[in-house]
Amino acid sequence: MPRICCPRCHGTELSWVPVSGRGSVWSSTEVHRAPSAEFKARTPYWVVLVRLDEGPTVMAHYLPADAADRPLPDTRVDAEVQDPMEGSGMPLLAFRRHA
Ligand SMILES: [Zn+2]
């Protein structure tokens, strides 16, 4: 997620840096109560914190392969950018278990 300033020195000269989209799950939670109307149809769904191989941590959705697939810590994952949901102009960042 883009920041408005550097969390360490509060500098505002930021830039975009390409990343591989690969990382490891650091933490996860299953959401049963949607925070807004757009997300209601997706419940229950997983939200994960993923530590990218390049270092930064991002929050995103997790798309399970099946009902038994849980994003436990250290699960290796690959990023996928999904089209914006209806009612939202923002693309949705999601991860799937690394094949
Ligand atoms: Zn800084």
- How far does residue 14's CA lie from ligand 1's centre (Å)? 9
| Nearest by Cα to 95 from 74, 73, 80, 75 | 80
Per-residue pLDDT tens over the stretch 12-54: 999 988 999 999 999 999 999 988 888 888 899 999 999 999 9
Residues within 5 A (CB) of ion ligand 1: 6, 8-9, 11
Report CA(49)–ligand 1 centroid distance (Å).
Answer: 22
Measured in angstroms, how far is the CA atom of residue 4 from the centroid of ligand 1? 11
pLDDT at position 2 over 80: no
pTM exceeds 0.95 for this model:
no
Q: Does the pLDDT of residue 1 top 70, yes or no?
A: no
* 12 Cα–ligand 1 center, Å: 8
Name the CATH code of domain 22-97 (choices 3.30.700, 2.40.50, 1.10.10, 2.30.29): 2.40.50
Kindly state the tokens that stand for 4.
């408005």
Query: Can you tell me the mean pLDDT for 79-88?
Result: 82
Please tell me the distance from the alpha carbon of residue 45 to that of residue 13, in angstroms, as a whole number. Answer: 35
Report the pLDDT value the prediction gives residue 74, as an integer from 0 to 100. 98
